Structure 1
Amino acid sequence: MNNKQMERIRTGQGFIAALDQSGGSTPKALQQYGIKPSRYSSDEEMFSLVHEMRTRIIKSPAFDAKYILGAILFENTIDRKIDGMFTADYLWEKKGIVPFLKVDKGLAESDSGVQVLKPIPDLEGLLRRAVERNVFGTKMRSVIHEANPEGIRKVVEQQFELGKQIWSMGLVPIIEPEVDINSLDKRESERILKDEIFKQLSALAPDVTIMLKVSIPTEDDFYRDLMAEPHVARVVALSGGYNREEANERLARNHGLIASFSRALAEDLSDQHSDEQFNEMLTRSIQSIYAASIT
């Protein structure tokens, strides 16, 4: 465990950049960036293009540790390089930004109002690779669609079981039970979710540290008590489908909650932009998310 990185995540001012679009979401991310499917004809070409996009973001002067505490990467990205360095090493050594890895393989079919994680084959092997590549922590996303107590309990239990395995390998897990922002009973789902999270936290060994990634809550400051829990290094929020302006506005009303945005971070960036235009757009995006995160 890197103590400097842990201290930065626990106490630093800024937010976490989510650069972890995977196989299923990469075409959408490339399309948003202005790269149509006609420009690639294989997964390898697609992942090379998305790595170029991520490299452009990471190398931009706008992508600065003054504003950004950490970055979440996709499995394919940790084996690729930026200027001859593995991506996680480049982030920490050149930028001072803490690297995380998305480890989940997507969502199972909806059942009991939720989508749990699909099985993760050879998770242990992936975690060993993450440690070798100097990654600090991991992330895995489940989704809650309805205020179904049994479904929500399954989501949280699965996340914490995997989280304990991840911690045992020397990595800090980001546990992400997303509540669908379009859910008709979102507020009630969040209440059940928080109770289940506290149950799991109370059962952890004293030395275990986790992070939480949640949807921006319906009730402002709803997760303040989780931020004070000794096992929780940081609570971060996803944009969840809100555009950047609305996500920032909602986030700013939640004191201590910081962003971990993906789509809202890359909104308006284009493959067609000159470097000057690209850096200017990214600067505006990063500084607005940062301002919403430090309230």
Structure 2
Amino acid sequence: MNTAQAQKIASGKGFIAALDQSGGSTPKALEGYGIGKDAWKTDEDMFALMHAMRARIIKSPAFNGERVIGAILFERTMDGDIDGKPVPDFLWQNKGVVPFLKIDKGLADAADGVRLMKPMPDLDKLLDRAVAKGIFGTKMRSVIDAASPSGIAANVAQQFDYGRQILAKGLMPIIEPEVTISIADKAEAEKILRDEILKNLDKLPAGQQVMLKLTIPSEVNFFKPLIDHPKVMRVVALSGGYSREDANAMLAKNTGLIASFSRALSEGLSAQQSDAQFNAELEKTINAIYDASVAG
């Protein structure tokens, strides 16, 4: 594991940008960026447009390691180039931003109040490629839709099982069991989730760490025991459908919790903007998310 990158992620001021929309969420992300479905005919065309959007964000003067400490990439982005340089190298060498990779293959069908991750039989091969590409860590998302003790226990256990496989390759896993923000029993689900994560952290060997990516909690500082845990490198928050304004306001109240926003990062950006307009909008966004991340 790159020591300079580990230090930046563990203690750097700023937030992690989530640039990892996959096949299912790409059309919506492009639509938000002002590119309609009539702009492409094939998946290749669609992903090329998405890559151009991500490259524009990464190349913007607003996007740099002083405020953005890490970036989560989609597999195709990891394999792509910016100005002739592999994206992970461009991020770290040109921008001082630590590269992560989204590794999950989407969600299984809902059962017992949760949606687990689909199986990842080829994960070792993907992790080996990530190591070769200079990736620091990974991210994988599952979902919690109800305060189901057995469902949440299974969800967290699956995350940590894959987490151990990722750690064995020398990569840092971001464990992301997302609690859906609209459920009536969100606070209760978060209590069960916190207890299950603590149980699984205690089973990790001494000296090993993981990262956590969690929904902003209903109760301020509810995840502080996780943030302070010696086996947790950093806890980041997803925006989860909250508007950027609401997500930033909630985040700022939680000490030690930093952002890892996706949709809330690209909100307000458009393919139709001039570079000056685009960079000014991104500067405003990054400033606001940075301020909320370091406020605690």
Residue by residue over 1:34-79, the C-alpha shift from the partner in whole angstroms, topping out at 9 and shown as x without a partner, is 0111110111111110000000000000001111000000011111
Instruction: Show the 5 A alignment for 1:88-103.
Output: 88-103=88-103
Residue by residue over 1:89-118, the C-alpha shift from the partner in whole angstroms, topping out at 9 and shown as x without a partner, is 000000000000000000011100000000
Inter-partner Cα distance in structure 2 for 1:207 and 1:75: 29
Question: Following superposition, which runs of at least 4 residues in structure 1 exceed 3 angstroms of deviation?
Answer: none
Letter in 1 for 2:256: G
Inter-partner Cα distance in structure 1 for 2:245 and 2:201: 33
> Are 1:264 and 2:264 an aligned pair?
yes
Q: Offset at 1:207?
A: 2.6
Inter-partner Cα distance in structure 2 for 1:263 and 1:228: 28
Give the TM-score, by structure 2 length: 0.99
Q: Offset at 1:206?
A: 1.1
Residue by residue over 1:143-171, the C-alpha shift from the partner in whole angstroms, topping out at 9 and shown as x without a partner, is 00100000000000000000000000010
Percentage of identical aligned residues:
58
The corresponding residue for 2:206 is 206
Letter in 2 for 1:97: V
Structure 2 residues not aligned, in runs of 5+: none
Instruction: Show the 5 A alignment for 1:84-123.
Output: 84-123=84-123
Residue by residue over 1:121-153, the C-alpha shift from the partner in whole angstroms, topping out at 9 and shown as x without a partner, is 300000000001000000000000100000000
The 3-state SS of whatever aligns with 2:260 is: strand
Letter in 2 for 1:288: A
The corresponding residue for 1:232 is 232
Instruction: Show the 5 A alignment for 1:12-91.
Output: 12-91=12-91
Q: Offset at 1:120?
A: 1.3
The count of corresponding residues between Structure 1 and Structure 2 is 295
Letter in 1 for 2:219: E
The 3-state SS of whatever aligns with 1:90 is: helix
The corresponding residue for 1:6 is 6
Q: Offset at 1:211?
A: 0.2
The corresponding residue for 1:245 is 245
Letter in 1 for 2:222: F
Structure 1 residues not aligned, in runs of 5+: none
The corresponding residue for 1:183 is 183
Q: Greater shift after overlay, 206-215 or 132-141?
A: 206-215
CA RMSD of aligned residues (A): 0.5
Inter-partner Cα distance in structure 1 for 2:164 and 2:209: 9
Letter in 2 for 1:163: G
Give the TM-score, by structure 1 length: 0.99
